């Protein structure tokens, strides 16, 4: 039995200090000394008169004499010690116990904070006078840490460690109340990463997770310490700007986010770029509660996507009307294929050497029974977002191949038909089978079909793109890169892909020949194509001056309203026949039948 037992025994025996221990007190002391709980006794002045071995170990005491007669102020921080003392005095003065109080205590050996679940009971002498207290504490540090971890997981995104939707909503509610009380403004920025799904689908979920973590870290660096960025899920982030001074301040933050997002990053050895679309909603100008602020910021974000992505838009009331229209459009889009509301128009391409029709591009249109003709600029991005683009693209492919055969059956010469592939369709596992099935079912010769993909699509995952393009090429189908020049491809990149055609983006054609920089870029692309023995087509040609410049620059073909707008199959038949007649009339006799 240790030397400190007599102190405990005289106390626990409820007798005056110094009386000899009884067997009952001896057994109680032994039980306390071997308990895993922390057991102690104090006098009315808060001085320790007993500690068991477990508590002594936590306090780092080697000998009981180092503790006896001392108080919590000798072993704890002033704030903690004061809290302990106040609880002790409450028990002593009231004569009532305190049950299951959670208290922090410093582990003197490790220096870590440990949490105790403590109960304190008053001790009385024979006359009923309070002569001290006994306390029992149980170490609940692991339970406390588990609770804190559960609380953290419930309020934070496990991937990026940002506040999640639930936590952000709570923080926004507090910020709104503060702004209302102090008559201040705040802003909510709703952020959606453009093209994230393409990267996630092509490079895998691990790559997508790495990109999201990088974006979260970049967004943090754009903000003040008082600002909050959260992740709502997927590729959606949201930012709270409290104590907003002006609209311009929100715009500056949005621009910082756009600049941070577009910076290249290395994902699994692949250089990737994403952009962001941002919607901004202001309190109290645009909305006065958490739900409306979030909803309106989301509406503004979709407006930013409609404006070409990689930009920000402030909420305005008319956007709400557009949002409802967009929802209606999405619902109608899902039914349009079943109702056969889509149809194709065809835009001819001109061979600049011969002046003859060199091919056509199939362009999908939507004729809604009530809304009339709906622009592809409205429904194609929506089809991409909803995933309906894969089903729509499959229908376009079959319809275009079938039309090519119909024209031949009508007596027109075989003509190459170009069909656009969306990013989702290009990386769809069934793409090559879809192309093969469309050719087989229609009977169209493979060399009369050309698949167009964008420069950005193949640069997302070059190795996978090469495998897909090689598979398409093995069918005998031609391949074209559409909108060339707006990305980051070089001669070294392009020569790796089994392509046949480069299409110069219309943005470079619009201002030629007046714009010297656009002339230089266009000439460089044409030269690149010639070096690789590719057919070069200029898109968006609308004037004779543009066509003359392209012909002089050795461009192979043009496409645009100057030669032909997109027309129905029947109109194209008449257009083709008229050109055939014109060629026969204008050509020398020996060349009249060289088609």
Strand order in the sheet with 48-51: 48-51, 38-42, 130-139, 113-124, 98-106
| 154 neighbors 227 (Cβ within 8 angstroms) | no
Whether residue 276 sits in one domain with residue 241 = yes
Is 292 found in the same domain as 162?
yes
| 211 plus 191 within the same structural domain | yes
User: Do 560 and 424 share a structural domain?
Assistant: yes
Q: Are residues 123 and 162 in the same domain?
A: no
pLDDT at 587 over 70: no
Among 80, 114, 145, identify where a domain stops: 145
pLDDT at 5 over 50: no
Number of compact structural domains in the chain: 3
The last residue of one of the domains, among 315, 339, 365, is 315
Whether residue 406 has pLDDT greater than 60: yes
Residue 316 sits at the vertex; the CA angle it makes with 315 and 321, to the nearest 5 degrees, is 110
Average pLDDT, rounded, for the chain: 86
Identify whether 552 is part of a domain: yes
Give me the pLDDT at residue 109, please.
Answer: 64
For residue 507, pLDDT over 70 is answered with: yes
Percent helix, strand and coil across the chain, each to the nearest 5:
50, 25, 30
pLDDT at 1: 36
What is the model's pLDDT at position 143? Answer: 86
Predicted confidence band of residue 18 (pLDDT cuts 50, 70, 90): very low
| pTM, to two decimals | 0.55
pLDDT in tens, 158-177: 899 999 999 999 999 999 99
Whether residue 591 is contained in a domain is answered as: no
* Residue 131 maps to a domain: yes
- pLDDT of residue 363 exceeding 80, the answer is yes
Query: Does 4 have pLDDT greater than 70?
Result: no
Q: State residue 592's pLDDT score.
A: 34
- Residue 543, classified by CB atoms within 10 Å of its CB into exposed (0-12), middle (13-18) or buried (19+), is middle
Question: What pLDDT does residue 309 have?
Answer: 87
Report the DSSP pairing between strands 275-283 and 449-454: unpaired
Do 400 and 498 lie in a common domain? yes
- Using 50, 70 and 90 to split pLDDT, how confident is the model at 297? very high
Residue bearing the bigger pLDDT, 39 or 148 = 39
On whether residue 590 sits in a domain, the answer given is no
User: Residue 460 has which token pair?
Assistant: 């997302």
Name the residue with higher pLDDT: 467 or 205: 467
Between 75-89, 95-109, 510-524, the lowest mean confidence (pLDDT) is in: 95-109
| Residues forming beta bridges with residue 557, ordered by sequence position | 351, 537
In a domain, 151, yes or no: no
The pLDDT assigned to 591 comes to: 36
Q: What is the pLDDT of residue 7?
A: 36
CATH of the domain at 516: 3.20.20.450
pLDDT at 392 over 90: yes
Q: Do residue 293 and residue 183 come from a single domain?
A: yes
Q: Tell me, what CATH number does 96's domain have?
A: 3.30.450.20
Query: Is the distance from CB of 29 to CB of 4 less than 8 angstroms?
Result: no
Asked if pLDDT for residue 491 goes beyond 90, the answer is: no
Question: Does residue 489 share a domain with residue 551?
Answer: yes
Say yes or no: 102 and 63 in one domain: yes
CA dist 148 and 162 (Å) reads 16
Cross-strand partners of 121 = 134
Q: Is residue 589 part of a domain?
A: no
Give the integer Cα–Cα distance in Å for 114 and 103. 8
pLDDT, residue 331, reads: 81
Confidence of residue 329 (pLDDT cuts 50, 70, 90): confident
CATH number at residue 221: 3.30.70.270
Q: Domain check: are 398 and 547 in the same one?
A: yes
pLDDT at position 277 over 90: yes
Q: What is the pLDDT of residue 65?
A: 84
Same domain membership, residue 417 and residue 343: yes
Q: Kindly state the helix (H) or strand (E) to which residue 219 belongs, with its residue range.
A: helix 205-221
- The answer to the question of residue 568 being in a domain is yes
Q: Which residues pair with 194 in a beta bridge?
A: 275
Q: Which domain holds residue 47?
A: 5-145
pLDDT at residue 10 above 50? no
Same domain for 555 and 457 = yes
Lowest average pLDDT, out of 14-28, 246-260, 512-526, goes to 14-28
Is 595 part of any domain?
A: no
- Angstrom distance (rounded) from CA 278 to CA 257: 9
How far, CA to CA in Å, does 512 sit from each of 37, 206, 231, 391, 536? 86, 44, 45, 38, 17
With b for 16 or more beta-carbon neighbours within 10 A and e for fewer, the 341-354 pattern comes to: bbebbbbbbbebee
pLDDT digits (tens, 9 = 90+) for 114-124: 888 999 999 99
């Amino acid at each position: 039995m240790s030397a400190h037992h007599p102190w405990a025994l005289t106390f626990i025996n409820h007798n005056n200090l110094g009386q000899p221990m009884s067997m009952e007190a001896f057994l109680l002391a032994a039980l306390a000394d071997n308990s895993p709980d922390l057991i102690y006794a104090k006098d009315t002045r808060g001085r320790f008169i007993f500690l068991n071995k477990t508590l002594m170990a936590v306090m780092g005491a080697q000998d009981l004499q180092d503790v006896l007669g001392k108080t919590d102020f000798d072993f704890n921080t002033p704030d903690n010690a004061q809290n302990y003392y106040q609880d002790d005095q409450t028990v002593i003065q009231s004569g009532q116990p305190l049950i299951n109080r959670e208290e922090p205590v410093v582990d003197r050996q490790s220096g870590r904070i440990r949490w105790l679940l403590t109960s304190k009971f008053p001790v009385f002498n024979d006359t009923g006078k309070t002569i001290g207290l006994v306390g029992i504490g149980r170490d609940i540090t692991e339970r406390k840490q588990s609770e804190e971890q559960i609380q953290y997981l419930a309020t934070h995104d496990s991937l990026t460690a940002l506040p999640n939707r639930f936590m952000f909503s709570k923080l926004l509610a507090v910020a709104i109340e503060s702004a209302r009380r102090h008559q201040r403004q705040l802003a909510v920025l709703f952020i959606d990463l453009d093209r994230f799904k393409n990267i996630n689908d092509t490079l895998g979920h691990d790559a997508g997770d790495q990109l999201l973590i990088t974006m979260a870290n970049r967004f943090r660096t754009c903000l003040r310490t008082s600002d909050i960025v959260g992740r709502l899920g997927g590729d959606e982030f949201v930012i709270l700007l409290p104590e907003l001074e002006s609209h311009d301040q929100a715009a500056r933050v949005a621009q910082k986010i756009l600049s941070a997002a577009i910076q290249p990053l290395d994902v699994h050895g692949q250089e990737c770029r994403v952009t962001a679309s941002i919607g901004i909603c202001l309190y109290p100008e645009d909305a006065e509660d958490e739900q409306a602020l979030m909803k309106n910021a989301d509406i503004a974000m979709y407006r930013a996507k409609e404006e070409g992505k990689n930009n920000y838009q402030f909420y305005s009331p008319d956007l709400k009307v557009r949002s409802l229209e967009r929802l209606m459009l999405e619902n109608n889009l899902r039914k349009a294929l079943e109702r056969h509301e889509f149809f194709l128009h065809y835009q001819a391409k001109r061979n600049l050497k011969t002046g003859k029709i060199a091919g056509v591009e199939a362009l999908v249109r939507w004729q809604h029974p009530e809304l009339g003709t709906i622009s592809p600029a409205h429904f194609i991005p929506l089809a991409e977002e909803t995933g309906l683009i894969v089903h729509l693209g499959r229908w376009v492919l079959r319809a275009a191949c079938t039309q090519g055969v119909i024209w031949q059956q009508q007596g027109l010469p075989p003509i190459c038909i170009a069909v656009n592939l969306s990013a989702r369709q290009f990386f769809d596992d069934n793409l090559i089978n879809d192309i093969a099935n469309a050719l087989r079912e229609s009977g169209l010769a493979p060399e009369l079909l050309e698949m167009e993909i964008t420069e950005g699509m193949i640069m997302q995952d070059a190795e996978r793109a090469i495998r897909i393009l090689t598979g398409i090429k093995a069918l005998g189908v031609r391949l074209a890169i559409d909108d060339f020049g707006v990305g980051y491809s070089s001669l070294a990149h392009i020569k790796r892909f089994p392509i046949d055609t480069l299409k110069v983006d219309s943005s470079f054609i619009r201002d030629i020949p007046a714009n010297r920089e656009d002339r230089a870029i266009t000439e460089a692309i044409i030269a690149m194509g010639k070096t690789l023995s590719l057919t070069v087509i200029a898109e968006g040609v609308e004037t004779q001056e543009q066509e003359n410049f392209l012909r002089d620059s050795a461009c192979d073909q043009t496409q645009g309203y100057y030669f032909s707008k997109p027309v129905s199959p029947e109109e194209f038949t008449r257009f083709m026949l008229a050109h055939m007649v014109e060629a026969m009339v204008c050509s020398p006799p020996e060349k009249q039948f060289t088609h």
